[in-house]
A and B are shown apart, each in its own frame.
Chain A
């Protein structure tokens, strides 16, 4: 039985790595992967807490797991849309460097 703290720490580490990746990298694909990392960090925390709660109450509870499925599904959709966008952007700009995508500059 692994204590819950371990999971939380792992989750936090993963989340931080993801956050740093998003903030520091310029390649859109890498940023995308970092976002996935953050999502999965959250998933890990969900599952961990759900398991802990199940043990604490002694009842089968699946709220956390269900949430994870939602997140995975949404992530998949997001990837589909995001990748399509990146492909379109690449087609027009021949680059996926996010710093070049500043047409929204006010």
Chain B
């Protein structure tokens, strides 16, 4: 152990409750939830998550009081075989507590929001029983995420890593029997599978990195690994870090494994906010930051990580421009922002990366939840409308979802159905505006400070290419967010549902206000000159304070403002009319087609990976394994040859003409012999007895006379 062995004072002994509080919450809901009302279920789950947050706060406080030295809290032995010694130990240091606070803090807010959201969602989708299931999964997610961030070894991190993947799968496919529009379909469950399997590809990389690590360093424990890493050949570290990058790409949705994240929007909106924006997807960033000591040893790997992040940031941002679904835009925006973070930690700007991670968690959760509010608002409007229509016609049909519009499927997430929501949903509008400004990086919102630090660090560390890529990505970010604001909240309603949209209840908007507040002031975490976060993280990783570069800040702000202006020029000045194609479609031509269709990456994957895999599997199963190996080799060749051999060769030739012929001769010979001998068998007992006597006499006579 490298850190202090002395029993630390404070609340460190509470660390296991980070995980067990949500586990207890979910167990209560599993066992007793059937008898609880929705309010109780939601409260239990939120309290469980809140308990986790309180523990995080206490841990952070204890840590700060103790001078920030990392503390490990042993909990249980897990696997001990030979030289492999794996324990479940909680690690409390400034990096892990930062993550804990974000996860449980944002998590709790989203739990509360979800009480309101799911209340309506299960009613629109007509399955009330699933309310409880949702909160069980959500608590499970918090538990898994806590294992991830609090683990003291790469393996415990991996356990949480897979655990959150599972929760992601369960929650993406939450409405597994339908698509996002509520029609019976395989779409949502396909999205869940896609997320799980893509993540598994990443996990494969993580796993291999772990294996190399174990055989090179003999341990998975962070401090032991970092200690040993200084003495081994850099080639091994490069291999470890690059395999780890595969894992990062999977979990944090980077090129080439980002494809699952947009589909993951099939999950309910609180899930998109919590898992697929604020917390789980940042696990990759956390992993790289955690492994800072490894990455710092190999600049070539750092460069690859930084470029991966930067290219992803720009690539995803371009796609976001061409999307119509309000959540899809945010999904690509998330990929893009994750690219910013990965690029930052790749460059060695770990504080900037973590800073952006935290602020992004605030404003992206805010955006997603507001988007959810918008979607529900439209659903309400649509519902209201449907009822009104039915009442007009006097049919009085039951308000079942699928009986509303038989001919038209209404998509409440499609921005082309929105417009003018500023008037009908004013609270949501203002919250959304704050989120947008934070994301676009406008002074003084949180996003401004964190993004600026990344850009400044890029220049300082000499990653000029990364700087330019990220700057262009930032321009696109401001543009697509501007486009979204104009399309959703301004202009005239393009669908009657939007015209009748209703504001969301307090249980949903209050958590949003908290998040909005954090999005405004979140930059204070690491203001230039104060460096609170830098000083905090310094206890754990080797960092240096980022400098505030005025020119960078000015350029990026000007770029963002220009982008918003441009978006007003295109979308705001002359609002979209119902049925009108996107105004960018004409001037950009095939470029826009590419953006709209996500540059055909999914189709490419299908052609290169999934299709061939399916075909090869089918070929192996049907042709090789069954028809060739099972039917031909076994049944035809082996069994057939045996049959031929026994029937034809042995039976007909050898047996009937060889052995049988001999046996027949033997039989007839015996028969003729017995014909003469049979006379002895006259059937009278006494004659047999007499012959026995004669025999005895003969033998005895022989013995006597011998």
CA separation between A31 and B692, bound complex, in Å? 15
Complex: chain A residue closest to B688, CB-CB: A104
* Complex partner residue of B684 from A19, A22, A24, A98, CB under 8 angstroms: A98
Cβ of B683 and Cβ of A24 under 8 Å apart? no
Q: Which residues, 61 to 106 on A, are CB-close (under 8 Å) to B? A: 98-99, 101-106
Q: What's the least CB distance linking A81 to chain B, in Å?
A: 16
User: In this assembly, does A1 line the interface, its C-beta being within 8 Å of a C-beta of chain B?
Assistant: no
Complex: chain A residue closest to B686, CB-CB: A23
* Complex partner residue of B678 from A22, A23, A101, A106, CB under 8 angstroms: A106
Q: Mark B427-462, 1 if CB is under 8 A from A, else 0.
A: 000000000000000000000000000000000000
* Complex partner residue of B681 from A24, A31, A98, A106, CB under 8 angstroms: A106
Closest 7 CB pairs of A and B: A102-B683, A106-B681, A105-B683, A106-B678, A98-B685, A22-B689, A104-B683
Chain A residues with Cβ under 8 A from B685's Cβ? 31, 98-99, 101
* Complex partner residue of B689 from A23, A102, A105, CB under 8 angstroms: A23
Complex: chain A residue closest to B677, CB-CB: A106
Chain A residues with Cβ under 8 A from B689's Cβ? 22-23
Chain B residues with Cβ under 8 A from A102's Cβ? 682-684
CA separation between A105 and B690, bound complex, in Å? 16
User: In this assembly, does B679 line the interface, its C-beta being within 8 Å of a C-beta of chain A?
Assistant: yes
Q: Mark B663-706, 1 if CB is under 8 A from A, else 0.
A: 00000000000100111111111100110010000000000000
Cβ of B681 and Cβ of A105 under 8 Å apart? yes
Known contacts A19-B693, A23-B693: A106-B686 contact under CB 8 Å: no
Cβ of A99 and Cβ of B684 under 8 Å apart? yes
Complex: chain A residue closest to B680, CB-CB: A106
Q: Chain B residues in contact with chain A, CB under 8 A? A: 674, 677-686, 689-690, 693
Chain A residues with Cβ under 8 A from B682's Cβ? 102, 105-106
CA separation between A104 and B687, bound complex, in Å? 13
* Complex partner residue of B683 from A19, A22, A23, A101, CB under 8 angstroms: A101
Complex: chain B residue closest to A105, CB-CB: B683
Q: What's the least CB distance linking A25 to chain B, in Å?
A: 8
CA separation between A101 and B685, bound complex, in Å? 8
A-B contacts, CB under 8 A, total: 35
Cβ of B686 and Cβ of A22 under 8 Å apart? yes
CA separation between A99 and B686, bound complex, in Å? 8
Q: Besides A22-B686, A99-B684, A106-B679, 10 other CB < 8 A contacts?
A: A23-B690, A23-B693, A98-B684, A99-B686, A101-B685, A102-B682, A104-B681, A105-B682, A106-B677, A106-B680
CA separation between A26 and B677, bound complex, in Å? 25
Contact sample, A vs B, 5 pairs, CB 8 Å cutoff: A24-B686, A31-B685, A98-B686, A105-B683, A106-B683
Chain A residues with Cβ under 8 A from B683's Cβ? 101-106
Chain B residues with Cβ under 8 A from A24's Cβ? 686
Complex: chain A residue closest to B675, CB-CB: A106
Q: What's the least CB distance linking B699 to chain A, in Å?
A: 15
Complex: chain B residue closest to A20, CB-CB: B693
Q: Which residues, 33 to 81 on A, are CB-close (under 8 Å) to B? A: none
CA separation between A31 and B685, bound complex, in Å? 10
Chain A residues with Cβ under 8 A from B679's Cβ? 106
Q: What's the least CB distance linking A50 to chain B, in Å?
A: 21
CA separation between A98 and B685, bound complex, in Å? 6
Chain B residues with Cβ under 8 A from A104's Cβ? 681, 683
CA separation between A23 and B694, bound complex, in Å? 12
Complex: chain A residue closest to B682, CB-CB: A105
CA separation between A99 and B685, bound complex, in Å? 7
CA separation between A22 and B685, bound complex, in Å? 9
Q: What's the least CB distance linking B17 to chain A, in Å?
A: 84
Q: What's the least CB distance linking A24 to chain B, in Å?
A: 7
Complex: chain B residue closest to A99, CB-CB: B684
Q: What's the least CB distance linking A41 to chain B, in Å?
A: 14
CA separation between A26 and B679, bound complex, in Å? 21
Chain A residues with Cβ under 8 A from B681's Cβ? 104-106
CA separation between A33 and B38, bound complex, in Å? 100
CA separation between A101 and B496, bound complex, in Å? 113
Kindly name the residue among A101, A102, A104, A106 whose own CB sees the greatest number of chain B CB atoms within 10 A.
Answer: A106
Chain B residues with Cβ under 8 A from A26's Cβ? 686
Q: What's the least CB distance linking B11 to chain A, in Å?
A: 91
CA separation between A104 and B689, bound complex, in Å? 15
Q: What's the least CB distance linking B631 to chain A, in Å?
A: 56
Q: What's the least CB distance linking B339 to chain A, in Å?
A: 99
Chain A residues with Cβ under 8 A from B678's Cβ? 106
Q: What's the least CB distance linking B560 to chain A, in Å?
A: 114
CA separation between A47 and B672, bound complex, in Å? 50
Chain B residues with Cβ under 8 A from A31's Cβ? 685
Q: Mark A1-39, 1 if CB is under 8 A from B, else 0.
A: 000000000000000000100111010000100000000
Chain B residues with Cβ under 8 A from A98's Cβ? 684-686
CA separation between A26 and B687, bound complex, in Å? 11
CA separation between A64 and B324, bound complex, in Å? 114
CA separation between A98 and B680, bound complex, in Å? 17
CA separation between A73 and B689, bound complex, in Å? 23
Complex: chain A residue closest to B696, CB-CB: A19
Chain A residues with Cβ under 8 A from B677's Cβ? 106
Q: What's the least CB distance linking B673 to chain A, in Å?
A: 12
Q: What's the least CB distance linking B215 to chain A, in Å?
A: 77
Q: What's the least CB distance linking A45 to chain B, in Å?
A: 14
Chain B residues with Cβ under 8 A from A105's Cβ? 681-683
Complex: chain B residue closest to A102, CB-CB: B683
CA separation between A31 and B683, bound complex, in Å? 16
Chain A residues with Cβ under 8 A from B674's Cβ? 106
CA separation between A106 and B684, bound complex, in Å? 11
CA separation between A102 and B685, bound complex, in Å? 8
Complex: chain B residue closest to A25, CB-CB: B686
Q: What's the least CB distance linking B76 to chain A, in Å?
A: 73
CA separation between A99 and B677, bound complex, in Å? 20
Q: What's the least CB distance linking A16 to chain B, in Å?
A: 11
Q: What's the least CB distance linking B640 to chain A, in Å?
A: 48
Q: What's the least CB distance linking A102 to chain B, in Å?
A: 3
